Amino acid sequence: MPQTHSTTTSTSLPPVPVAVLLPPPRRTRRATTDAGEPANWHGLDARTAGLIVTTYTRPRDVVIDLDAHPVMARAVRALHRHPATLTTHRHRPRPPASGRRIVVRRSGAGLIIASLPRAGADSGDLHAMTAAMHTWRSMLRPGGFLLAAIGSISHHTTVITAARVAGLLYHQHLLAVRVPLPEYEPRAMADTAATTRPRLVEGQHARVHTDLLAFAAMAGDVDA
């Protein structure tokens, strides 16, 4: 992923690289596909989803998407990886809808994708989040990744802490912008910023991005 700058955390650990993922131009954006399925994943098109898959996996890896999003599944298949999701019973991986059986190798999945918060993994609850992270960590191969899409910025610290307790390394922070950026923004220009009224929603800036936190299962780790 392109790296723009790094951020530090309250634990004074080494900073992680930060990258910004931009949506496709407005003229090429569609809300749904011809089949009525969503045409983007957290505002990102299939090409960007493919870039994520390429960056965090190897050919023939199993990719477990807990939400089984069609855009991500198509990107995984196109790149010769194996899309899978989890059954609710004992967290067993299964293929999404296609009927083709996918078995996670003993070494584990190459990538797990989770949108948070979710049932059984409240990103604001450290205990629940740590338990979920332990489960996901046990399903990753050494060197595999967990990609968490965070719905609330206030939950970042809880998610990062839970991942570290579970033995995952905080690897990268991606900002997935969900709307096209304007060509001209007067609030960002020195000569007009002071005289431009802020665009607030109920006193707050509108959130137009999703935070994606990438965690790595370090090679050589052995689960207890």
φ, ψ dihedrals at 44, nearest 5°: -105, 140
Question: What CATH number does the domain containing 97 carry?
Answer: 3.40.50.150
d(CA 55, CA 171): 12
pLDDT at 52 over 80: yes
Q: What is the pLDDT of residues 55-110, one digit of tens each?
A: 999 999 999 999 999 999 999 999 999 999 876 544 455 555 544 444 445 568 99
pLDDT at 165 over 90: yes
DSSP state of 118: B
d(CA 114, CA 141): 17
Q: What is the pLDDT of residues 123-163, one digit of tens each?
A: 778 999 999 999 999 999 999 999 999 877 778 899 999 99
Does residue 175 contact residue 211 with C-beta atoms inside 8 Å? yes
pLDDT at 27 over 90: no
Residue ranges making up the domain that contains 51: 16-181+206-217
In a domain, 5, yes or no: no
Whether the CA torsion 27, 32, 34, 37 is positive or negative: it is positive
The confidence score (pLDDT) of residue 36 equals 56
The confidence score (pLDDT) of residue 85 equals 83
The confidence score (pLDDT) of residue 132 equals 93
Q: What is the pLDDT of residues 167-197, one digit of tens each?
A: 999 999 998 888 887 777 787 788 888 888 8
Does residue 180 contact residue 148 with C-beta atoms inside 8 Å? no
In a domain, 59, yes or no: yes
In a domain, 31, yes or no: yes
In a domain, 7, yes or no: no
In a domain, 3, yes or no: no
DSSP state of 196: S
The confidence score (pLDDT) of residue 145 equals 97
In a domain, 186, yes or no: no
CA angle (120, 85, 16) in 5-degree steps: 70
Map tokens 């898959």 to a residue: 53
Domain count for the chain = 1
The confidence score (pLDDT) of residue 6 equals 54
The confidence score (pLDDT) of residue 57 equals 96
pLDDT at 209 over 50: yes
- The H or E element spanning position 72 is helix 70-78
Map tokens 């809300």 to a residue: 31
Look at residue 99 and give its three-state secondary structure: coil
Tell me the angle at which helices 156-165 and 126-138 cross, rounded to the nearest 10 degrees.
50
Whether the CA torsion 10, 13, 19, 23 is positive or negative: it is negative
pLDDT at 122 over 50: yes
In a domain, 9, yes or no: no
pLDDT at 37 over 70: no
Q: What's the residue count for the chain? A: 224
pTM of the model: 0.76
> Which candidate, 114, 156, 216, places its Cα nearest to that of 8?
156
φ, ψ dihedrals at 132, nearest 5°: -65, -40
CA distances from 62 to 35, 84, 85, 89, 108 (A): 26, 7, 10, 19, 8
DSSP labels, 134-148: HHHHHTEEEEEEEEE
% residues pLDDT > 70 (the chain): 73
In a domain, 212, yes or no: yes
φ, ψ dihedrals at 16, nearest 5°: -105, 150
